[in-house]
Chain A
Amino acid sequence: MTSAMSAGVAAASHPVGRPIVNIAIFAFFVTVTLVIAIRVAGTNKTTADYYAGGRVFSGRQNGIAIGGDYLSAASFLGIAGAIALYGYDGFLYSIGFLVAWLVVLLLVAEPLRNTGRYTMADVLYFRFREKPVRAAAAISTLTVSSFYLLAQMAAAGGLVNLLLGVTTSGGQDLTIAVVGLLMIFYVLVGGMRGTTWVQIVKAIILTAGAAVTTCWVLAKTGFDVSGLLRHAAAASPAGSAVLGPGLEYGANTVSKLDFISLSLALVLGTAGLPHVLTRLYTVPDAIAARRSVIWAVWLVGLFYLFTLVLGFGAMWLVGAKRIEAAPGKADSAVPLLAYHLGGTLLLGVVAAVAFATILAVVAGLTITASASFAHDVYAGLLRSGDVEPGQEIRVARITAIVVGLIAVAGGTLAKNIDVAFLVALAFAVAASANLPSIVFSLFWPRFTSRGALWSIYGGLISAVALIIFSPVVSGQTNPASGAALSVITDPRIDFAFFPLNNPGIVSIPLAFFLGWLGSITDRRAGDAARFARVQVCALSGIGAERSGPATDTAVAAASAKVTGDPEGGRHDQQRDRGSADIFHAARPGGAEHHPLLGRPADEPG
């Protein structure tokens, strides 16, 4: 999507609509969501409360919240904008984003819910019980979350620029800082429960808003889709070429390969996105996790059908020229369309929804990153599990503040980069660093911890390195205008020896290959007993972490009885008394307990 990348500071222009109205609607949405977050937050005393919302959400609630997490600014603004500018090639994004959910549904969701507790690294730790593996998974979680955060913050900057008429660089930085502070507040006050409810509310408003706007566009052509396409093609400078593939990616073999690379990253990335995977822990069991994904598939699929109409609608009614000229470029297509259709008020609503989207997604990412740091790095690695839940939550909160500040700093730097494009990079890193090790550890008996390390670090380093040495970062100019299209705008600096914008086609197969190679050359064969545990737990749910807000005291009593763990695993839980964390009690391992122990209180009520 390089041609959609803007470089340098966007040209100053007049805001669309009336800034006062926009600000008022913004403020209204922010207030409503804050009240929700505070009202539902509860106490957040235990780690299960703070990280997983007490695991009390139903499949439907969580499915809508997953939709809320997934339908980020990149989906709402980015995809519709890409369709408005490139027609069919923008549509390709949404197909990849949707089909990707089948990977989650069929291979990842239920086994992950059964074998993990709070973070993605839990699953790998459950299989290997080794700190280096946990560290690797935590590092890749934090990296992917950072990429995704950057994309959201960049979107916030562009949007505010468009709507509030803030065109000075300092003013935009200030608004990005406000977004960051609000988000930190949501996370600190609401924890996972508050964040989830904000996602649910946001997803419903977003889908409803998109549905209304879609009907509005279709009504203009008498619900004639063919007519809409005809109008759109007539309005586009590229003519009917926009209705078929190739406008953005069809130029030559390299751009076609780039497109295949992007498609690979999109379809395999979702199942490696930490903030999506963490959501699966907020439900009581694997069946609810499956229901969550089914709801998410329908919501996301429906939404992408709307964006198809919105994108072609913007191409027709707003026109590529005005979109290109607006600050934020492609990302401004939908707000401009809303303004064209419903004037200041609809623009304000759409913009506020987009703004709420950014806030909610950023909050979800922050809580995931802070959980990974506090749970995996601080409690799991630095303190070897010897930590009170209160202390762990305190660390998570401090991490949330730090992550928020880093996101603000990154957002001010990345505010001119196209959002859909940044998100695609996050998907590539997720698909390379996370997915291979998750799939191998759940399904492959021969997988070893060395294979996991090779796969995670190999995928992570190759994906990030290829991005750094790609035209995204340096050396790309617009052949027509000579304007720089890379992050480094100085055309003299050019170290792009990797020709593709998206690294997926190299880094994803490489990560799978390294996982395989690292395992088969490992002298220590895969441990059959551990794999048995993973497989039995993943498929049947025996020994899986169950929900139960009222199990605190029972767990404390049960944990106290557990005297030892022959495998040395889950050692942290013994000291985690008083938390709703029933993992240890539900896990086998204590000498006094049967290996298949699952306490009666753990059964879903």
Chain B
Amino acid sequence: MSVTHSGRESGSGYEVVQASREFRTLRRRFARFAVPATVFFLGWYFLFVIVAAFAPGFMRIKVVGEINIGLCFGLLQFVSTFTITMLYARWARRNIDPVAERLRQRAERGRRR
């Protein structure tokens, strides 16, 4: 790994890391979760907001007793938030943290040389 390269320019060492295979793996894994998850939860939230604003009649349809679609839809926003949070926690622990840790250790070794 080329992070042991020594340079005087402050940014250059970082550019070497940035170009390394390991870092690109890290970046790809981060993006593979963060981008679709962000698109999904923002889309899901604004779907809820727009339905609440422009189709209130739909939200008033009763499901069980006084509990209507609006309330269920709102509570599902809670469920999706909790779910995405825990999925990300697991994804990061398994796929991101080990790579980041390896990168940091290599950078550290390179420094000591």
A: residues with CB less than 8 A from B are 88, 91-92, 95-96, 98-99, 101-103, 105-107, 225-227, 229-230, 233, 240, 243-246, 249-250, 256, 259-260, 263, 267, 286-287, 290, 293-294, 297-298, 301, 304-305, 527-530, 532-533, 535-537, 539-543, 565-567, 569, 588-589, 591, 593-598, 600, 603
Contact = CB atoms under 8 A, between A and B. Distances in A.
A542 B38 contact: no
Contact of A529 (B10, B33, B78, B107): B10
B48 A598 contact: no
Nearest to A231: B66
A245 B81 contact: no
Which secondary structure characterizes the binding site on chain A? Answer: helix
Q: Most chain-A CB neighbours within 10 Å: which of B27, B49, B56, B113?
A: B49
A111 to B, nearest CB: 9
A565 B8 CA distance: 10
A56 to B, nearest CB: 20
A413 B38 CA distance: 40
Nearest to A255: B53
Nearest to A258: B53
Given A105-B85, A528-B15, A529-B12, A92 B78 contact: no
Contacts of B54: 256
Contacts of A250: 53, 56
B78 A102 contact: no
B50 to A, nearest CB: 7
Given A226-B64, A245-B59, A598-B111, A533 B14 contact: yes
Ranked 5 nearest A-B pairs via Cβ: A595-B13, A529-B11, A226-B65, A244-B60, A229-B66
Contacts of A542: 14, 17, 103-104, 107
Contacts, number: 199
Contact of B85 (A88, A297, A569): A297
B30 A539 contact: yes
Q: How large is the interface on B (under 10, 10 to 19, 20 to 34, 35 or more residues)?
A: 35 or more
A535 B48 CA distance: 34
A287 B97 contact: yes
Given A98-B77, A260-B49, A267-B42, A230 B66 contact: yes
Contacts of A240: 60, 66
B66 A243 contact: yes
A286 B100 CA distance: 11
15 contacts: A88-B70, A92-B74, A99-B41, A102-B37, A102-B85, A106-B88, A244-B70, A246-B52, A290-B92, A305-B78, A529-B9, A536-B18, A540-B104, A594-B111, A603-B108
Nearest to A259: B53
A9 B99 CA distance: 60
B78 A98 contact: yes
Q: Most chain-A CB neighbours within 10 Å: which of B64, B86, B103?
A: B103
Contacts of B82: 297-298, 301
B49 A595 contact: no
A95 B48 contact: yes
Given A107-B34, A107-B38, A244-B68, A598 B50 contact: no
B2 to A, nearest CB: 11
Contacts of B60: 240, 243-244
A103 B38 contact: yes
Contact of B107 (A88, A99, A227, A596): A596
Given A246-B56, A260-B49, A294-B85, A536 B92 contact: no
Contacts of B113: 594
A449 B113 CA distance: 36
B78 A595 contact: no
Contact of A596 (B3, B38, B97): B3
Contacts of B23: 536, 539-540
Given A95-B74, A540-B103, A102 B8 contact: no
A233 to B, nearest CB: 7
Nearest to B86: A294
